[in-house]
Structure 1
Amino acid sequence: MTPSDVTLTAMEAAENSQDIYGPFDSDSSLMDALDAYASLISSFLFYFQT
Structure 2
Amino acid sequence: MHAALRLAEEAAAGAHELPFEPAVFGVLGFGGLVALLLVTYAFRSVGTRH
Given the two structures, how large is their TM-score scaled by the length of structure 2?
A: 0.49
Q: Which has the higher Rg, Structure 1 or Structure 2?
A: 2
The structure with the greater share of residues assigned to helix is 2
Structure with the larger RCO, 1 or 2 (CA within 8 Å, 6+ apart): 1
Given the two structures, how large is their TM-score scaled by the length of structure 1?
A: 0.49
